[in-house]
Homo-oligomer: A and B are copies of this chain.
Amino acid sequence: MPLKKNVRKIRSPAPLPRAEGHRQTRREHAIEIAEDYAEAIADLTLETGEARVVDLAQRLGVTHVTVNRAIARLQRDGFVSSQPYRAIFLTEKGRHLASASKRRHELVVAFLISLGVSERVARLDAEGMEHHVSAETLAAFQGALPRKGQQG
């Protein structure tokens, strides 16, 4: 029997509509690429002195064309600055995003390893999980980490 009218349901204390989780997930996905690129650009700059399109493509597992267009979006959104045929640089905003992302990423990896997950799988899973770990959950991960309680 389709087309049955929605009955108004009586609820007690507003129990977190399920849609909220999906909305949050979509929001996180919308900035995920910015986070991964920022991290990669920061890493490459540190490791090799500059971030080039080809190296980003290699590291992210996409073609250089995909990187090119992503960089254009990141520049539009204020995360990087770039000029034609030159290397890519993070803006202040981009550096902040990179360092926050990098810290969270490494914490997630360390936490998974501390749980007994193999390093390989920890690194693979963390690449996706990291973007959905809120501040509260990150703090819980950090708190559950064995030693060096400070932050080292």
Name A's B-contacting residues (CB within 8 A).
1-4, 6, 16-26, 28-29, 36, 40, 50, 52, 54-55, 58-62, 85-87, 112, 115-118, 120-129, 131-134, 136-137, 140-141, 143-144
Contact = CB atoms under 8 A, between A and B. Distances in A.
A134 B115 contact: no
Copies of chain A in the complex: 2
- SS class of chain A's interface: helix, strand, loop or mixed? helix
A2 B50 contact: yes
Nearest to A85: B2
Contact of A61 (B22, B118, B124, B126): B22
Contacts of A118: 136
B137 A117 contact: yes
A17 to B, nearest CB: 8
Contacts of A19: 58-61
